[in-house]
A and B are shown apart, each in its own frame.
Chain A
């Protein structure tokens, strides 16, 4: 019964979305405003129904109901409960249901909590949200039903890919999805604003919290995903330019540009058309990304061929939404009035430069990701890999960092180049000192990009703190703190990336138990190898004592074997110190009781993810700062009325 109830809830929600769309359309265009009264309840009910459907699917997974096809093919009755739970979205149908659920709940939140928009724009936004949801309901119900039953249920199920059996994977996809779908709200806002011709600062102030929240979650999701790949895959790298990674990076780049341009629109009433355009692009990117991953066309052209219906459905949805939004944009943008003017040397110009650089990087990642697909359509197989992305995105990202350093030190509307130059003196001096000392210490030993990266990280770090200079720190608004911390986070991340690529020491050995290995100042004693067993796996574990002039510490890399599906994974041992990480991977046994060991000492590599967390924290502070001001004002006006 549970599966059938879930399916029914999903159908009801889809019907409500259709109703919601019709109500707003007839209400706004057909001159029947009384119909609009039902739009908000419809959106809320839709959110409740999708959440119910999702909760029921989770219940099916937790109960290991093998009569449901999705559970049978993606779960196993012997699995620990956390991975049964996470298995709910570790597959195509489940993750699409999660997507629809987040969309439904976000729509309900917009219906309940949005107060800053005019009534017409609010209703048009909800109509837009319903229009997007409808396509996804159709996709789910017609081609990816998560509740489908099978006639002869297996006893145990096929299990979840062991690589995905990791706590990181239980939380990382939902975070990313919240971010992706948060951008759908920004998209609906843009559609609503275009439909009601209300593109102005008030609209931007209403949209900004949604963009900020989505961006914070995307940032956290990408950071967590990068760290997961780093420790779980055992290859010691943190970014691979894999299509799946690019799929999350592209919406992030667009959202970052949108975040900055929406701030210009909210505070200075400039960049109106550009902001709308970015809102459309940002959500388009999250759809492109999700579909590239979920349709399987990137990891395997095969999946596309096996189920042509699904692939075509995806392409049709993409065409309708992106094409429709762009057409609406082209049709209505002429009527959007110009915003406030600004001089060439101003904060606005800096933010335009930031937007252009982010867009260019986005374009390059997009071309690199889609190019293999396009050539394949013409019968050529090519693969675009790290060399392409590193070569172009690297230098552009460094240029972006320079803009990031100078932007906050520039005044709104009008500034003088000489004054900006004066404010930049300290970061420039730090850069010069960094170039000098690095040149003496490490020239010729590290590559040019890590070298520049370190120099820029140091000066960007200095420049990001500069806006706090001579300010009363207690009275500095949270929004400014957020900006400072997020920008500092970029410098910290960049420093981590540069250190990792410049100073990592690698050692590869085949060692016998009892051997001592020396590398990068560490002494590693290989004590013994022993078999152990976990919940649904067995493993060979190497016990090692590592020591670098302090207290010796025990570390235990493992090689794990899962029986369902039969797979071996390697669990790296990571030892974190303040100045870096020791990373040890256990390989296979070679003749003579020797075991392959791969040992890395990665100085300051943790800064990469620390920076990511700081960036997200900065966004969260900015969000709280803006919202708190609204709450305070509301509270004061209420008190004044009483």
Chain B
């Protein structure tokens, strides 16, 4: 094979690989970029049961209840416009509490209950899940406010 041809083949292979990677990424992003949902997105756009998503919002005050088994909790997540019921079995993060922000990973079941497999709460007092920035919770009125 001539060196020139070889260069051409290499360049073509690299081009195909780059385009392929771009297409793959775009197709996957189309499905997965709608990965984070606020409760209002769930209400307006709808999420099919079983699809893995992240649900983010604030834990509604007074909604947190523990099941008899001691490890399952039930709570409501709100973004001020809509509220979604959720459950989680496991050890909740230390900073997971009512009136605080949470991002829950999991999927909806057939009855519209969000079954979380993982809870991401604030790591420390300063850190906030970045999806929840611009949201705040009014302690007095129990209202969520989207700041932008």
- Among residues of A, the one whose C-beta sits closest to the C-beta of B119 is A235
**What are 13 A-B contacts with C-beta separation under 8 Å?**
A360-B21, A368-B29, A371-B33, A382-B33, A383-B54, A384-B33, A385-B32, A385-B105, A392-B25, A508-B91, A590-B66, A591-B70, A598-B91
Indicate if B20 sits at the interface (CB-CB under 8 A): yes
> How far apart are B89's CB and chain A's nearest CB, in angstroms?
6
Q: When the two chains form their complex, are residues B90 and A508 in contact, meaning their CB atoms are under 8 A apart?
A: yes
Binds A, one of B108-116, B120-128, B136-144: B120-128
Find chain B residues with CB under 8 A from A161 CB.
Answer: 123-124
Instruction: Name which of B70, B118, B124 has the most chain A CB atoms within 10 A of its CB.
Output: B70
Q: Which of B18, B66, B71 contacts A363 (CB 8 A)?
A: B18
Give Cα distance in the complex from A636 to B141, angstroms.
84
Which of A302, A385, A510 is the one whose CB lies under 8 Å from B35? Answer: A385
Q: Which of A364-389 contact B (CB under 8 A)?
A: 364, 367-368, 371, 375, 381-385, 387-388
Tell me, in angstroms, the Cα distance from A592 to B66 when the chains sit together. Answer: 13
CB 8 Å contact bits of B1-31 with A (1 = contact, 0 = none): 1110011011001100110111011001100
Chain B residue numbers with a CB within 8 Å of A165 are: none
Docked Cα-Cα span, A375 to B94, in Å, equals 31
* Contact status A388-B29, CB under 8 Å: yes
Query: What is the CA–CA distance of A342 and B70 in the complex, to the nearest angstrom?
Result: 66
Chain B contacts with A in 30-54, Cβ cutoff 8 A: 32-36, 52, 54
Q: Which of A357, A363, A385, A566 contacts B25 (CB 8 A)?
A: A363
Which bucket holds chain B's interface residue count? 35 or more
Return the CB mask of A501-526 against B: 1 if under 8 Å, else 0. 00000001110000000000000000
> Given the complex of chains A and B, what is the CA–CA distance between A342 and B18 in angstroms?
23
Give A299 to B133 CA distance when docked, in angstroms: 11
Given contacts A300-B127, A367-B29, contact A382 B36 (CB under 8 A): yes
Contact B17 A368 (CB under 8 A): no
B29 near A590 (CB under 8 angstroms)?
Answer: no
Q: Is the CB of B14 within 8 A of A356?
A: yes
Instruction: Name which residue of chain B comes closest to A357, CB basis.
Output: B17
Task: Pick from B6, B118, B128: contact of A235, CB below 8 A.
Answer: B118
A512 and chain B: residue at smallest CB distance: B70
Given A359-B17, A587-B91, also A163-B29 (CB < 8 A): no
Which residue of A338, A343, A364, A587 is within 8 Å of B21 (Cβ)? A364
Give min CB distance, A32 to chain B, whole Å.
38
17 other contacts beyond A300-B133, A363-B18, with CB at 8 A cut-off? A163-B123, A300-B127, A357-B17, A359-B14, A359-B21, A371-B29, A381-B36, A382-B33, A382-B36, A383-B36, A392-B28, A565-B125, A567-B125, A570-B91, A585-B91, A588-B92, A596-B91
Pair B29/A352 contact, Cβ less than 8 Å: no
With the chains together, A342 CA to B10 CA distance in Å? 11
| Chain B residues within 8 Å of A213, by CB | none
Residue from A342, A371, A568, A590 within 8 A of B94 (CB atoms) = A568
A371→B29 CA distance, assembly (Å): 9
Q: Judge whether A387 and B52 touch: CB under 8 Å.
A: yes
A49 to B2 alpha-carbon distance, docked (Å): 52
Mark B residues whose CB is within 8 Å of A: 1-3, 6-7, 9-10, 13-14, 17-18, 20-22, 24-25, 28-29, 32-36, 52, 54, 66, 69-71, 89-92, 94, 105, 118, 123-125, 127-128, 130-131, 133
| A387-B71 in contact (CB<8A) | no
Q: Closest CB of chain B to A159's CB: distance in Å?
A: 10
Q: For residue A382, which residues in chain B have a CB less than 8 angstroms away from its CB?
A: 33-36
CA A598 – CA B33 in complex, angstroms? 31
Within 8 A of B (CB), among A219-234: 234
Given A596-B71, A598-B91, A383 contacting B17 (CB threshold 8 A): no
- Chain A interface residue count, Cβ-Cβ cutoff 8 angstroms: 53
B contact residues around A570 at 8 Å (CB): 91, 94
Instruction: Assess the B25–A342 pair: CB atoms within 8 A.
Output: no
A375 contact set on B, CB distance < 8 A: 33
- Across-interface contacts of B34 in A (CB, < 8 A): 382
A391 CB within 8 Å of chain B = yes
Q: Are A364 and B25 in contact (CB under 8 A)?
A: yes
Please state if B124 and A392 are interface contacts (CB–CB under 8 Å). Answer: no
Q: Please name all residues of chain B whose beta carbon is closer than 8 Å to the beta carbon of A383 when the two chains form the complex.
A: 35-36, 54, 130-131
Which residue on A lies nearest to B66, using beta carbons? A590
* Interface status of A309 (Cβ within 8 A of chain B): no
A242 to chain B, nearest CB (A): 10
* Interface presence of A298 (CB below 8 A): yes
Contact A352 B91 (CB under 8 A): no
Among A383, A587, A594, max chain B CB count under 10 A is at A383
A301 on the interface (CB 8 Å rule)? yes
Chain B residue at smallest Cβ distance from A379? B148
Interface check A308, CB cutoff 8 A = no
Contact of B71 among A388, A391, A510, A592 (CB under 8 A): A510
A302 CA to B130 CA in the complex, in Å?
A: 9
Q: Does A341 contact B (CB under 8 A)?
A: yes
Q: How far is the CB of A197 from chain B (nearest CB, A)?
A: 19
